[in-house]
Amino acid sequence: MVAGVSPVKKLGEVSKAGIKRVNVEQKDRAQVTLESIGEAVISTDREAKITFLNVVGERLTGWPVREARGRSIEEVFKVVDATTRESIPDPMESSRQQHRPGHLPGCCILIRRDGGEIYIEDSTAPIHGRGGKVTGSVIVFRDVSEARRVAEEMMHASQHDFLTGLPNRLLLEDRLGQAIALAERHSGEVAVLYIDLDQFKQVNDSLGHLVGDKLLQSVAERLQEQVRTPDTVSRQGGDEFVVLLQEVKTKADAQVVTKRILDAVASVHSIGENQLYLTASIGVSRYPADGVDAETLVKHADTALYQAKASGRGCVKFFKPAMNARAVYRRSIEEDLRRALGRNEFQLHYQPTIDLKTGAIAGVEALLRWTSGSRGVVTPETFLAVAEESGLMLPIGSWVLREACRQAASWLDEGLPAVSMAVNASAIQLQDANFRNEVCRVLEETGLSPASLELEVTETVLMNLPERALAVLQHLRGMGVKVSIDDFGAGYSSLSHLKRLPVDILKIDRSFLRPLKEQLDDTSIAVAIIRMGRSLKLRVVAEGVESLEQMKFLRAQDCDEAQGFYFSSPVPAEQFGAMLRKRQFSWKLKSGRLRGSAAEPPRKTG
């Protein structure tokens, strides 16, 4: 025993030292823990003075702990509302006052010491001492800037077109709804412009989707340049755009914008080495005259667009209630067309082409007719355009090709004279990847010689076909199939274009023969076409011959063949077969009638 030191006192001193050592160890362990976690930690005393920052806290705030200690929390931890930019006071005050954990308001920004900004999320809690008394507070927060950026990108992607960056259908509906609400409050108007690019598919097919995408981006930029900041340009998909015009005062205001848009789209687009021209069609609806909700306005603008496209390229149509009835009728036609094939409602009628030198039937054109079970006879003018626009021309065209070839082979099997069977080929068929194989398959299955088949393509379609489709026609010609340009002269073929096109036959558009009925002197265009065709060694056929005078004129000009009601209207297969059986067709020079033709004059049935 040490002299002068009681055993009890010595034991007490040892106990205090042990407790002090344990406290230090606990404090060190807590320090290491706080420095190791991935979130920032700041603690304060009861006066909201900073007592501690961990390493992450130093990095995010930009304040070293040695400089931050003793400063007010609001000096080191500056937080503002991301929307209002208003300062948020000491976020730990409520935790100290209410003795419970808390959080900052949503969407907060921490202003770093260097002025940089980061989005943060946090939680706060009071620090209790012995006896439960609050001695300070602690806040734990983390940087959510990257997470917020990703979330914003995802939100933007969900509301914008990936190719052009324009608002998509979803965002347009939201903005249109807001515009309608604003217009309703202020008794204003809103206009919706539905825009479709007229020749875009041809660019895609001929130059590829990469060029097509860049062209869409060029159009998007030009559309944005033609509208005001409050307005919205949206891409609906494909080559369709919708423009929302806010605060439109009159119809004339919308007309001014449509004129600017048409001019902007029509100007040349320089895409790489390509100089591209195209036009647009526009349908317009207005609030409140044409609808009081977003869905109705877009629908009516689309209906007006359909009427604009039906009127030709580069047209603008404002919605009218009567258009709804036409749109409903068109949809009903489309629905019945989809069922017509399965119900065997289609038939082919056949119109002869006459050799003007011998009077013999040189060929026949297959013309589609539709007798609907519910509508009766539906004219081609009514349903062919609907078939083209709805994509139904592919299955219908396939049926026509097969049925015409089957009928031509059947006549040959009966021992009737061989005639060339002409079948109209649409743009959508010619650009279908399977068209060539389909023609080959039909010829093989029906046993018809390729030389007995003629594919008729309108001048406008032929001039706009991509090289790939022209190559298909060239391949079929190599097999012996003939190709004719229908309605020649109604388009814009030049002689240089004509020389490079894969064609064998030139069919003069009927409009150039109409003046011959009353004024035989007005013949220059028809004569020029006949001479041009003969100089290119093409067979020339005149369509729409309806009078003796027209026929005599064509014979005098050495036109090869003629077709029209003067000779025969389109007739069913049985009646045409009867015409072929008469065999003897020659000119009766005095009357101009053909021996062997039907006794009754032909009736114009379409």
Q: Are 235 and 241 in contact (CB under 8 A)?
A: yes
Domain spanning 331-582, CATH class: alpha beta
Confidence of residue 493 (pLDDT cuts 50, 70, 90): low
pLDDT by residue (tens digit) across 230-248? 999 999 988 999 999 998 8
- Comparing 132-141, 212-221, 441-450, 579-588, which segment has the lowest mean pLDDT? 579-588
pLDDT confidence of residue 32: 62
Phi first, then psi: what are they for 455, rounded to 5°? -100, 120
Q: Are 455 and 485 in contact (CB under 8 A)?
A: no
Kindly state the average pLDDT of the residues 271-299: 92
- Comparing 20-24, 118-122, 323-327, which segment has the lowest mean pLDDT? 20-24
- Comparing 333-342, 382-391, 479-488, which segment has the lowest mean pLDDT? 382-391
Confidence of residue 223 (pLDDT cuts 50, 70, 90): very high
- Comparing 45-49, 164-168, 258-262, 499-503, which segment has the lowest mean pLDDT? 499-503
Handedness of CA 445, 450, 479, 484 (dihedral sign): negative
How many CA atoms, within 13 angstroms, populate the side-chain half-sphere of residue 597? 23
The alpha carbon of 30 is separated from its chain's Cα centroid by a whole number of angstroms, namely 62
Q: Are 285 and 191 in contact (CB under 8 A)?
A: yes
Whether pLDDT at 461 is above 90: no
Q: Which residues of 360-399 are buried (b: 16+ CB within 10 A; e: fewer)?
A: bbbbbbbbbbbebeeeeebeeeebbebbbeeebbbebbbb
Per the listing, tokens 């119809």 go with 251
Cis amide prior to 288 (ω within 30 degrees): yes
Distance separating alpha carbons of residues 473 and 457, to the nearest angstrom? 10
Specify the pairing of strand 117-128 against strand 134-143: antiparallel
Kindly state the average pLDDT of the residues 40-69: 90
Helix extents (H) in 341-466:
380-390, 393-413, 427-430, 435-446, 459-463
Q: Domain 31-149 is of which CATH architecture?
A: 2-Layer Sandwich (3.30)
Handedness of CA 205, 208, 211, 214 (dihedral sign): positive
Amino acid present at 169: R
pLDDT confidence of residue 437: 95
Name residue 138's beta-bridge partners: 43, 125
Phi first, then psi: what are they for 79, rounded to 5°? -125, 135
Domain boundaries, given as residue ranges, for the chain: 31-149, 160-319, 331-582
Per the listing, tokens 């869905």 go with 295
Amino acid present at 58: E
Handedness of CA 515, 521, 522, 528 (dihedral sign): positive
Kindly state the average pLDDT of the residues 576-584: 81
- Comparing 473-482, 505-514, 527-536, 572-581, which segment has the lowest mean pLDDT? 505-514
pLDDT by residue (tens digit) across 403-443? 999 999 999 999 999 999 999 998 889 888 899 999 999 99
Kindly state the average pLDDT of the residues 534-556: 89
CATH superfamily of 160-319: Reverse transcriptase/Diguanylate cyclase domain (3.30.70.270)
Handedness of CA 221, 226, 231, 235 (dihedral sign): negative
Confidence of residue 606 (pLDDT cuts 50, 70, 90): very low
- Comparing 349-353, 410-414, 585-589, which segment has the lowest mean pLDDT? 585-589
Q: Are 510 and 523 in contact (CB under 8 A)?
A: no
